[in-house]
Amino acid sequence: MVRSAYLREHGLRFQEGKSHKDILWTIQLAAADGRFYFADRQDYLWVNNPASITHRPDYYDIRAASYIDVITD
């Protein structure tokens, strides 16, 4: 969780729409002099979805392009 006042103060916005944007988001939060708290409870659940993009033959090409997109932003 991130306080909305903190986001406004540092002009941070999450860029939706493409994969791996959370990587850039986490770096921006850390670079803005933020504090982190690590909880010992599960708040993320992974489910194997056969229709997921991760099962496509070109998944790694898509993933690489997504990382490049994040880096160039």
- Report how far apart, in Å, the C-alpha atoms of 7 and of each of 11, 12, 56 are: 6, 5, 36
Domain that holds residue 26: 4-72
DSSP single-letter state for residue 48: -
CA distances for 23 relative to 12, 19, 44, 50, 66, angstroms: 14, 9, 16, 25, 11
Q: What pTM was estimated for this model as a whole?
A: 0.49
Question: Cα(24)–Cα(39) distance, rounded to whole angstroms?
Answer: 21
pLDDT in tens, the chain (73 residues): 788 898 898 888 877 766 677 777 888 888 887 677 778 888 878 889 999 888 999 989 988 888 888 778 6
What domain count does the chain have? Answer: 1
Type of residue numbered 51: A
